[in-house]
Amino acid sequence: MMLNDDNTLKIEVNDDVIEEIEINSSKNLMYIVKQDKCLDLTIYLSATVVSFKIFFDLKKNARANIVLIDTSKGKLDLSANVIMNEEKSSFEWCLASISNNDDDKKIDVSIDQIVGRTTAHMYNYGVVLSNGRLSFAGVGKIYPRANGAKVSQVAKIINYDERAFSSARPILSIDCDDVVAMHSASVGKVDENALFYLQSRGLKESDAKALLTLAHLSPAIEKIKDEVAKERVIKEIKELL
């Protein structure tokens, strides 16, 4: 590990690594995943983080699978940048975020696929309660010589209150013809019919909300490998509701 001049902690991944980290203050991280190595990283944002920047540099045939669970409070500016400058590298990003009360969260993820035969998938899932604010921006850039690149983006946010603000902007910038690309986004109110149905089956409103919220965020939550950590996250989410 090395601390750069801009206070970014630089971490070189020289072996296959499974890691969990908790971020509870502003921080900058950079992961360099070396050739043929794999990084499985789960990140928990808690307390008040304010600013979090993370960078990934993937070498040939390197793989990175990132899960980020955000239950932080207050203002959050999160920026993730990925460079894929060597062939056969793959990257997956899966995020679950909750914005509540006066929280104001902006999450920007950008992936640069500079050469061919790289694969990148981005999944952002959010829930907004009360007068919280949550914005997702995903940018996938495929460069002219990135033949055979694959990219996909999914962004989904549900709102529980009329005062909630949310936005999702998946952007693909493609300068190459030989690619496979897709993106989708949805932002809207929670399904009132589903809430009513669950309550009609005997669930309290808070329990019904918890069930729908956990289902919505499950693509990220289910990727948590540590069962104890997974149960802790589920408990934290229920307490926010």
**Stretch 93-114: mean pLDDT, rounded?**
97
**DSSP run (H or E) holding 56:** strand 50-58
Identify the band that residue 4 occupies on the pLDDT scale cut at 50, 70 and 90: low
Q: What is the pTM of this model?
A: 0.94
Q: Which of 159-163, 201-205, 214-218 has the lowest mean pLDDT?
A: 201-205
Burial 136-156 (b: 16+ CB within 10 A, else e): bbbbbbbbeebebbbbbbbbb
Beta bridge mates, 235: none
Q: How far apart are CA 54 and CA 9, in angstroms?
A: 9
**Stretch 24-50: mean pLDDT, rounded?**
94
pLDDT of residue 161 exceeding 60, the answer is: yes
